[in-house]
Amino acid sequence: MTAPTPQAPRHVRAVAVQPHWSARDFTTPEAFRRWMRAQLDMARPHLKPGGVNLVVLTELNGLPLVLRGGGWALRLRTFERVALALFLARLPRALPVLLRERVSPIRALQLAGIDANTELYLRTCRDLAREYGVYLCCGSAPMPRYTRHGTTLRRAPGVLTNQTVLLDPHGDLIGVTDKVHLTPDEEAGGVDLTPGDLDELRVFPTPAGDLGVAISLDAFRADVIGSLAAQGCTVLLQPDANGSPWTAKEGLPPDPAHLRDQPVAWLESSWQVTAQRQIPYAVNPMVVGNLLDLTFDGQSGITGPAEEAPGLRSYVLTDPRPGFLALTPWVTDGTPDELRQAGLDRAAHSGHPLENRYREDTLHADLTLPPAARPAPPRTAHEDALHALLRGEAHAPRPSPHPGPWALAALALLALPLLTWLRRRP
């Protein structure tokens, strides 16, 4: 009797892209496709020819698609003003969603165009995964839940999660993950997303690793990391969009009486996960750039076992340490006070000559992983629907005809309370 041949380990090139975004990148489909393609072009020199390449993009890189077709509103300069203007301009589409699905105005605004935006987002990512021949973590975007009915997808009313999609080099769907722990800016007082379900988190075995996704805040939470580790995750993907100056104080402190520098708090995500050997490797890309009046900044990194990365380095405002396989430098060096001021100088609407001057970058690291030992989880109904969309076997719902004068009459009744509601936002 012949003994079974042992499977070979998996060798993977992991690539994290740190792009600089702008509201203009999302005002037309062509601009969005250019911005996404530019990120894969940034990754191209880091790809291993003939090897298995995993490219990880950033959190909420589909959220600003709510601006599609609304370039005229950008002159209003703040997100709350732009959101109000777009809601009023799109009232014939958004008002029926608000009334029928009993959601907030900001969620209704997003849902009113979500089907077309989802198709644009997913098909753009599919085409890039195919063209560049990579396993692609698309980042994340607000997306609904769909079920397939013949050649048409049907959207679950009112649901809009922060959702990551994983694709293989053929552009086919690997799996989908929702963000479980939302930040205040993602909850009802902000863009008003639906939290994901912890029990629905899964790990996806692929030639690029047993992939588990913990979107931003989820990577700081023990319940999410514990679930992924228990399912055999070998590569943690942490797409991120940190909505504040990088050298500011932490925004969600465990102890409000003792605020830490934000980079210090960030060590409790990917770096801690791999340093404590809960999961062997982690990839954490972060988007940078001012989006209207919102500031996004950070340092992207790839972390792993200390013995594979013995060199001492770390985020600014933290002590050097082993465990960073790759790390983007921040925009400048200096004393703690100089670094904190440098973050403020670059923030949105600072008026400083360095406003919006951030560092784009691309990182890579080579990972050696054990053979896959678990079967792929069965697809959910939502994943079946997205798989059909990506393969051209189904399409998202087409917009219904605009309602008549009744929607315009409601404009005057809704404008004042909507303005008041949006002005209450921080």
pLDDT at 220: 98
Q: Which CATH class is domain 10-414?
A: alpha beta
Buried b (16+ CB within 10 A) or exposed e, 185-210: bbeeebbbbbebeeeebbbbbbebbb
Contacts of 307 (CB under 8 A, 6+ apart): none
385 close to 148: Cβ distance less than 8 angstroms: yes
Mean pLDDT per 10-residue run, the chain (426 residues)? Answer: 64 98 98 98 98 98 98 96 96 96 98 98 98 98 98 97 98 98 96 98 98 98 98 98 97 92 98 98 98 98 97 98 98 98 98 98 98 93 98 90 51 51 46
| Model pTM score | 0.94
Nearest to 193 by CA among 59, 73, 290: 59
43 close to 2: Cβ distance less than 8 angstroms: no
Look at the chain and count its residues: 426
Query: Residue ranges per domain, the chain?
Result: 10-414
